[in-house]
Structure 1
Amino acid sequence: MKSLPAGRPSRWNLNPLFPVFSLLLQYSPQQFGWLRSRWSLELLAINIKSLFNITLPISTLYRYFSRVNIVWRRAAPTLKIPDAEYEEKMAAIKEALSTSSAEYPVFYEDEVDIAFNPKIGADWCLKGQQKRIPIPGQNQKYYLAGSVDARTGKVDYVGGQRKNSDLFISLLEKLKHTYRQAKKLTLILDNYVIHKSCKVQNWLKKNPKFHLLFLPVYSSWLNKIERLWQSLHETVTRNHTC
């Protein structure tokens, strides 16, 4: 005999409404006539009531969202400037990734700022208390240029006092040495000015094995190494006391 799950049986089966919630969350409440810029559980429940004449308790909606991984998460800014070459750029990137190999490696590349003053973030502490993070006051920065092999996940990086063309070229030199057996090295990267400078262009002319594929403009989330930098900040630089 199978035992019953702990707790009261669920009164509501909200799974059929999942596509509705997914659709609502893609839009702003303002597009439905509400004077709010963000959804709340109460407002979502009101919309469900209006659409299906179903009265959902807020607690029920909260538990359901937790179960199906609908989360309250900080939004990210983006610009409404379309890239006329979006499809062409993405096709070239997909083609490079599909043919990636030891002889034709493909990398995601980007730079990151490491601030001497720590990034401040949430941490565990006793209720009623707030953890204090000492800061040196005058901030200084160090910069990393890094790449991650799209096929193997191997990470290479270099550091420097300035985020400029020399830092980027230093990484290219490292990849040139590390992957000297490769016939062609392709880098997927953003449109930051140092990646297109005259100094970099001259270096590329002398090193024809390197090929740069630029992401569509204002599409940094397509660069997989961004996840590595996010992890770096969350686990190392946030609240650091170095």
Structure 2
Amino acid sequence: MLTIVRREPRILGYDRSRWSLEGLQQVVEWLSGLSVSGVWRLLRRLGIHYKQARSYIHSPDPDYEAKLARIQDYIRLAKAKPEKYVVLFQDELTYYRQPSEAKAYEAVGKAQPQARRSPHKNSQRRIAAAMEIFTGKVVYMQKSRIGVDELVAFYEKVVEAFPDRTIYMVQDNWPVHFHADVLAALEPQTFEWPLRVPWNWPKEPSSRARHLNLPIRLVMLPTYASWANPIEKLWRWLKQDVLHLHAYAEKWTKLWQRVDEFLDKYAEGSADLLRYVGLTTNSALYGPALSHVGPPPLLPD
């Protein structure tokens, strides 16, 4: 039954964009003897409820499975040789002075929870963070902007946190990640897939580039696959605990401090964070997406 309700109704001959109880009654032969309320009760017994949809974009990346499989390969390598390798999931987040609206408790009736706003400009703040896959250790930096210089400074901070190891940095396809001046700061990179950067960006580092030879190897996530980056759930937790309906629109710097306090809790790792982001079974991180793909060979030393 779950297979049926997940399919588009028109494919099965019901000319609607969504299933209704009547539609299921018409299309599913063994439901035809039940009343509409009987169909509803049956679905309840089967654990199938009428639920709010969520937005979803299927990654159009032609190398989707290959990229996920390669990330799994790096995870196995880091697990086998933790003294030499580490895997981090990295991302950036923007948050704002004005509180985001969200559900909260209030009296029944027309009264609604209040998101107290400020007449000031809706300033923004940027965070770059990376989370280690086995411990949940978080390294982060927050600034008014994250550009090339800030990203390189953040990478230096990451290397300080994980000394004497090669760092596999799993990240999305934000072009700044692959700017020539950013790449100049890292050890030489070998990319298995084409980089996605603006055509008019320089191919060579500028005179301002810092050649630091940082032991970081960049690993691409598939395009439009934010679900594949567990640190996205850290951002969700931050929003739930700190940013939604916050009371600091008039105390902008205080909100920065609250964000720092939240992220500092994970500076030494956290089992709670690993559970929240779904990394307690990290050896099969992309199991459902790769169930039909054989594991790639372990990367050479």
Superposition TM-score tier, normalisation by shorter sequence: 0.7 to 0.9
Aligned equivalents of 2:161, 2:27: Cα separation in 1: 57
Aligned equivalents of 1:54, 1:213: Cα separation in 2: 55
Amino acid at match of 1:172: Y
Residues 208 and 119 of structure 1: is their aligned pair in 2 closer, same or farther, counting only changes over 3 Å? same
Does residue 1:46 correspond to 2:25, yes or no?
Answer: yes
2:245 to 215, 239, 242: 239
Does residue 1:175 correspond to 2:158, yes or no?
Answer: yes
1:32 to 12, 18, 26: 12
Aligned equivalents of 1:157, 1:188: Cα separation in 2: 15
Residues 39 and 164 of structure 1: is their aligned pair in 2 closer, same or farther, counting only changes over 3 Å? farther
Task: Compare 191-200 and 51-60 and name the one that shifted more.
Answer: 51-60
> 1:10 aligns to what?
none
1:149 to 128, 132, 153: 132
Residues 179 and 207 of structure 1: is their aligned pair in 2 closer, same or farther, counting only changes over 3 Å? same
Residues 219 and 63 of structure 1: is their aligned pair in 2 closer, same or farther, counting only changes over 3 Å? same
Does residue 1:83 correspond to 2:64, yes or no?
Answer: no
Deviations 1:156-189 (A, max 9, x none): 111010132233222211111111132x100111
Does residue 1:93 correspond to 2:71, yes or no?
Answer: yes
Cα deviation, residue 212, structure 1:
0.7
Cα RMSD after superposing both structures: 2.4
SS at match of 2:85: coil
Aligned equivalents of 2:24, 2:117: Cα separation in 1: 44
Amino acid at match of 2:86: P
Aligned equivalents of 1:44, 1:152: Cα separation in 2: 49
Gaps of 5+ in 1: 1-19
> 1:72 aligns to what?
51
Aligned equivalents of 2:145, 2:221: Cα separation in 1: 23
1:121 to 85, 89, 102: 102
> 1:108 aligns to what?
89
Q: How many aligned positions are there?
A: 217
2:141 to 158, 167, 174: 158
Contact 2:159 2:214 in 1 (8 A): no
> 1:8 aligns to what?
none
Does residue 1:188 correspond to 2:170, yes or no?
Answer: yes
> 1:199 aligns to what?
181
Cα deviation, residue 54, structure 1:
4.8
Amino acid at match of 2:6: Q
Residues 212 and 30 of structure 1: is their aligned pair in 2 closer, same or farther, counting only changes over 3 Å? same
Q: Which contiguous aligned blocks of 4+ residues in structure 1 show a shift greater than 6 angstroms?
A: none
Gaps of 5+ in 2: 188-211, 249-301
Higher relative contact order (CA 8 A, sep 6+): 2
Cα deviation, residue 123, structure 1:
1.0
